[in-house]
């Protein structure tokens, strides 16, 4: 999640954290424009036990998910890790995302400094095995906000970062060269789809968890996120 300034207010990123969290929102679908046309994404919002100076709980946003339950979709993978199991057959046929509201989780939140901007990323979301957490009741869901300027803890969905079908420098993601592993020096378009998916599943989470990243890291991260959105574009 990229933190920006809105209307003069500085948004402080969630501190690095390992502990309980509770889902307080599944945001409405939001259209984004990419090189390949319009996409719709949504995000999950969690409250944790970390508190701001005023006593209000910190919030953390997930990356953007396309509305897909395909077995390789990022949302399906996130749910699998969170629930500790894959979706049941009935859930695969129809899944109500509002059923996630109030559901607890164990989160690992890490920071990444990219081009002077601080990111708070959910590095892991797993079942909460011990302890408990309840929503504070102070957060107002995005869909329920009538006057955003008067609501508590106003949160704006970030429009940059992982929602673009292009790499960070505007290139088609397929033309970005891999600089790590056995495929180093090869453009993504020259790899088998399974090799790109392997980079998404294995290298990308580790890169996001780095405290500092190189320019090559950032280009490849943006390209893989764009590739992931394209792969996830199969609808419900």
pLDDT band at 11 (very low <50, low <70, confident <90, very high): low
pTM of the entire structure?
0.61
The pLDDT value given to residue 114: 67
- Confidence check: pLDDT of 196 > 80: yes
- Confidence check: pLDDT of 210 > 70: yes
* Pairing state between β 104-114 and 17-26: antiparallel
Query: E strands, the chain, where?
Result: 5-6, 9-10, 17-26, 30-34, 37-41, 44-51, 57-61, 104-114, 117-126
| pLDDT, tens only, 172-187 | 788 899 998 888 888 8
- High-pLDDT (> 90) share of the chain, %: 41
Q: Kindly state the average pLDDT of the residues 200-213.
A: 79
Average pLDDT score over the chain? 80
pLDDT band at 36 (very low <50, low <70, confident <90, very high): low
The pLDDT value given to residue 209: 74
- Confidence check: pLDDT of 171 > 80: no
- Confidence check: pLDDT of 84 > 90: yes
Spans of all domains in the chain: 5-134, 173-231
The pLDDT value given to residue 7: 41
Do residues 123 and 78 touch, judged by C-beta distance below 8 A? Answer: no
| pLDDT, tens only, 136-158 | 999 989 888 744 434 334 444 44
């Amino acid at each position: 999640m990229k933190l920006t300034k809105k209307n003069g207010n500085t948004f402080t990123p969630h501190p690095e954290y390992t502990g309980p969290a509770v889902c307080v929102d599944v945001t409405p679908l939001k259209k984004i424009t990419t090189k390949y046309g319009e996409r719709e994404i949504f995000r999950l919002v969690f409250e944790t036990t970390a508190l701001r100076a005023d006593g209000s709980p910190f919030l953390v946003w997930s990356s953007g998910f396309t509305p897909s339950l395909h077995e390789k979709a990022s949302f399906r993978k996130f749910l699998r890790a969170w629930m500790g199991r894959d979706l049941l057959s009935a859930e695969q046929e129809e899944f109500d995302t509002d059923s996630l509201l109030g559901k607890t989780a164990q989160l690992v939140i890490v920071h990444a400094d990219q081009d002077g901007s601080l990111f708070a990323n959910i590095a892991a979301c797993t079942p909460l095995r011990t302890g408990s957490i309840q929503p504070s009741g102070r957060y107002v869901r995005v869909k329920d906000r009538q006057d955003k300027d008067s609501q508590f803890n106003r949160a704006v969905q970030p429009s940059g970062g992982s929602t673009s079908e292009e790499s960070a420098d505007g290139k088609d993601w397929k033309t970005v060269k891999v600089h790590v592993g056995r495929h180093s020096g090869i453009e993504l378009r020259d790899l088998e789809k399974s090799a790109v998916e392997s980079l998404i599943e294995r290298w990308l989470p580790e890169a996001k968890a780095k405290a500092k990243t190189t320019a090559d890291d950032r280009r490849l991260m943006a390209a893989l996120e764009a590739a992931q959105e394209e792969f996830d574009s199969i609808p419900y």
